[in-house]
Structure 1
Amino acid sequence: MSFLHLPDLAARALGGAVVAANDDFFADRAALVQPYPVREHPEFGYRGKVYDGWETRRRREPGVDHAIVRLGAPGIVRGVVVDTAYFRGNYPPQVSVDGTAVEDHDLTGAVWTPLVAPSAAQGDTANAYAVDDDHRFTHLRLTMHPDGGVARFRVHGEAVPDPRDLHGTVDAATPALGGRIEDCSNLFYSAPANLLRPGPARDMGEGWETARRRDDGNDWVLVALAGETRLREVVFDTSHFLGNAPGWVGITDGAGGVVVPRRPVLPDTPHRFRIAPGAVPVSRLRVDIHPDGGFARLRAHGELTPAARAAAAARFVEALPDAHLETLLRAHGAADRAGLLDLLTASG
């Protein structure tokens, strides 16, 4: 489906977590947002077959089972994947998904919006469901009808950062603020989205690596930043890339404007490229590696321009569900969305 290329807003690496479940007797709810591929476990434990996923006990009364996931990057959900890998005789015949948005992670009195109506699910399958709702959510509730097991829950969408988090120097490439991979030349070995993950890479597999080139070209990746940014530095980190780091790198704004002139780079090294204070703000970075190879992380430290922060505030306010909007109106003493936007923009 078309939404599968979008970031996983519930990713553990971004701070996503399963914060509640009514039951996880057989298998731990925390597995739903783990970043690694689902593993099959042939062994049995004290409570039965071991599963890499969330599994509830068999229901003997009417009802449903649910788990609540906090999104690491709150935003607009375009689709979800309910992966029942290795759950073959114990998967839920139907699943549904609801969303809510709250302040400070307090779910007391949360108002839930249906995003995926009760829909058929298959066992041992990555069940994908599109979502048609333009509101910003902070938590999702996955419900199994009536019970069973789910291995992974992926939430694909567009991060909508809170404008109160965009002041000062930020990493404008982080998915938590809306940074994303737009395109790349090659993803033979690993996904370029790894480049933007928080924290250092633990090994080469957590970076981006291309196939070996046998021509005169070079590989590249194009990154959209959270908004127009006055860069202070770009971090190009080749950690763990020892015999396959690029020989050279050059960075532009995606339209030909030079951000970092082509220069040699070293294996297994975090390079910090300082940007001149008077440099033109940019909204994209194209990183050209010569001729091929891979690297672990990309950071784009700087300040969003006033126009970019104003645009982010407008998108945030427009995407607020009614219940979350009412909470913020009371907190800021605003009368409506326009008044809230004025206050948030003025505070920047």
Structure 2
Amino acid sequence: MTARHHDEPAPSPLPDLAGRTLGGSVMAASDEFFAEKENLIKPEPPTHRPYTFAHRGQVYDGWETRRRRGPGPDRRPGAGDADWALVRLGVPGVLRTVVVDTAYFTGNFPPACTVQAAAADELATPEQLAAADWAEIVPRCPLTGDARHIFEVSDPHRYTHLRLLIHPDGGVARLRAHGEPVPDPRPLAGLSFDLAALENGGAVAACSDDYFGSPTNLLAPGLPRVMGEGWETRRRRDEGNDYVVVALAAAARLRLAEIDTRHFLGNAPGSAALRAARAPGAAAPPPGAWTELLPRTALLPDTRHRFRLPADAGELTHVRLDVYPDGGVARLRLLGEPTPDGRRGLALRWLNALPPGAFVRTAAAEWGLPAGEAAELAAARPFTRQPDRLPI
């Protein structure tokens, strides 16, 4: 665990899969007497106004439970007592870093926390999740007040829900769950979709500058509410230009690009271009791998631009957005159809990332495999090709 002051830079370039921006939800909590559970996943940093009281006490920008009382003469809570909050990830995926931020909680922070994860139906209710298989991805660890606690996660499996336990009670400002999205390929079968979208498995592979806004914002769902929810670079004073490289969710043939400068008025790029490459498995293709997808084209401020892409561009895995010379872009959409190899890649990634129990349940429900046969398949992972018995 690493502890940092809450106003230090964010610990990970990976998206926050629990965040409200990606559709995360705090489904239930054992208690929220002093401050609401929904504050845990707000996208903005926590704030504080001292001596601001409501009818239940000082107002905190976080989740805060009442003081637990035990049965003994001094009513102290027991060693096993804990409050909990149940979070549905906005985008299921493999978690790499969990952040428990106790910003502004000083005399009322929990002494320790535990984080658990489950792979369940995304529409499961809190009552159904109570019986889920919960894996401990962050064992019980001490916390301090007014600090961002960063926990590295080594579990390689895809999860849909988190449960934050605080021992025995207290307040937490924010919970972040940074990781790599792993979409379920079944709803996408046979469809065209946005190959750049985070929720579908798109990712930022490289970026020249992110001084004012993260390039990950380009791939977020929905429309930005303000300029700060886009990607923005500092002002260039040289002859170069800024760029971002996107690794597509799967190898695909692209049909339509959308470059949205919404909310960027005096700081939109003057023009932009798109280049594409086919480099399976590469973090970012080498300089000579790129071909033109959209020639350098003038952009307007605060405008949604849509461009048909050439039909002969072929199978692509990466797209590079160049902006000239600098500025901000709110969203980048890249619509198309995965190739057969691309669809197989999506399926393999999902199958290999399922926890063993979730794999066995899925194999039984989807393909009618006996539990023993499904367990043998689960143990034989990672697959390098899709088994014939699993027709996704």
TM class, shorter-length: over 0.9
Within a 5 Å distance, the mapping from 1:247-286 to structure 2 comes to: 247-253=270-276, 255-286=289-320
Deviation at 1:277, TM superposition (A): 2.5
Deviations 1:80-126 (A, max 9, x none): 00011111111111111111101243225201111111001111111
Counterpart residue number, 2:101: 83
Matched, 1:218 2:257: no
Partner of 1:28: 36
Question: Quick one: which of 4, 12, 15 aligns to 2:20?
Answer: 12
CA deviations on 1:225-270 (whole Å, 9 max, x unpaired) are: 1111211111001112122211111111253211111111111111
Residues in 2 aligned to 1:75 and 1:344: alpha-carbon distance in whole angstroms? 24
Displacement, 1:215? 1.1
Normalization by structure 1: what TM-score?
0.95
Alignment partner, residue 294 of structure 1: 328
> 1:262, 1:185 → 2: CA distance?
18
Q: Alpha-carbon deviation of 1:3?
A: 6.7
Structure 2 CA distance, aligned partners of 1:109 and 1:136? 18
- Take 2:245 and 2:45, find their aligned partners in 1: how far apart are those partners? 26
> Residue in 1 aligned with 2:6?
none
SS of the equivalent of 1:4 reads coil
Residue deviations 1:121-151 (CA, integer Å, cap 9, x gap): 1111110001111111110111101111101
For residues 153 and 104 of structure 1, the distance between their equivalents in structure 2, rounded to whole angstroms, comes to: 19
Structure-1 residue corresponding to 2:206: 183
Contact 2:363–2:390 (Cα < 8 Å) also in 1: no
* Higher mean displacement: 168-177 or 254-263: 254-263
Aligned to 1:112: 134
Give how far 1:345 is off. 6.3
Distance 1:216 1:122 in 2: 47
- Tell me, yes or no, if the aligned pair for 1:164 and 1:344 is still in contact at 8 Å: no
Deviation larger for 320-329 or 10-19? 320-329
Tell me the secondary structure at the aligned position of residue 253 of structure 1: strand
Among residues 53, 72, 81, which one is paired with 1:44 in the alignment? 53
Of the candidates 121, 127, 130, which is equivalent to residue 143 of structure 2? 121
Instruction: Report the CA distance between 1:342 and its aligned residue.
Output: 4.1
- Aligned-partner Cα distance in 1 for 2:365–2:388: 11
SS at match of 2:12: helix
Question: Partners of 1:4 and 1:205 in 2: how far apart?
Answer: 18
Query: What is the TM-score when the length of structure 2 is the normalising length?
Result: 0.84
Name the amino acid aligned to 1:138: T
CA deviation string 1:176-229 (max 9, x = no partner): 122122221111222111111111122222211111111111111111111112
Q: Secondary structure at the match of 2:258?
A: strand
1:313 and 1:344 in contact (8 A); partners too: no
- Report how many aligned residue pairs link the two structures: 347
CA deviations 1:300-340 (Å, max 9, x no partner) are 11111111111121121111112212221221202424799
Change (3 A) 1:284 1:48: same
Q: CA deviation at 1:343?
A: 6.6
2:229 alignment partner in structure 1: 206
AA in 2 matched with 1:23: D
How far apart are residue 41 of structure 1 and its match? Answer: 2.8
Identity, in percent, stands at: 49
Structure 1 unaligned blocks of 5 or more: none
Q: How many angstroms apart in 1 are the aligned matches of 2:19 and 2:248?
A: 19
Q: CA RMSD in A?
A: 1.9
Deviation at 1:165, TM superposition (A): 2.9
Does structure 1 retain, via aligned residues, the 8 Å contact 2:293–2:310?
A: no
CA 1:224 to 1:68, structure 2 compared with 1: closer, same or farther past 3 Å?
same
2:281 maps to none
Partner of 2:73: none
User: Radius of gyration: which is bigger?
Assistant: 2
2 CA distance for matches of 1:150 and 1:92?
Answer: 8
| Cα distance in 2, alignment partners of residues 11 and 178 from structure 1 | 16
- 1:166 deviates by 2.6
User: What's the CA shift for 1:346?
Assistant: 3.5
Instruction: Check whether the contact 2:119–2:159 (CA below 8 A) recurs between aligned residues.
Output: yes
Unaligned ranges ≥5, structure 2: 3-9, 71-77, 278-288
Displacement, 1:279? 2.0
Determine if contact 1:161/1:176 at 8 Å carries over to the other structure. yes
Task: Output the amino acid matched with 1:264.
Answer: A
Q: Conserved in 2, the CA contact under 8 Å of 1:84 and 1:91?
A: yes
CA deviations on 1:43-86 (whole Å, 9 max, x unpaired) are: 01111110110000001122101111111111111110001111
Distance, in Å, in 2 between the alignment partners of 1:342 and 1:229 is 22
The one-letter amino acid paired with 1:155 is A
Tell me how far apart the structure 2 counterparts of residues 291 and 150 of structure 1 sit (CA, whole Å). Answer: 42
SS of residue in 1 equivalent to 2:240: coil
Q: 2:309 & 2:166 partners in 1: Cα distance?
A: 51
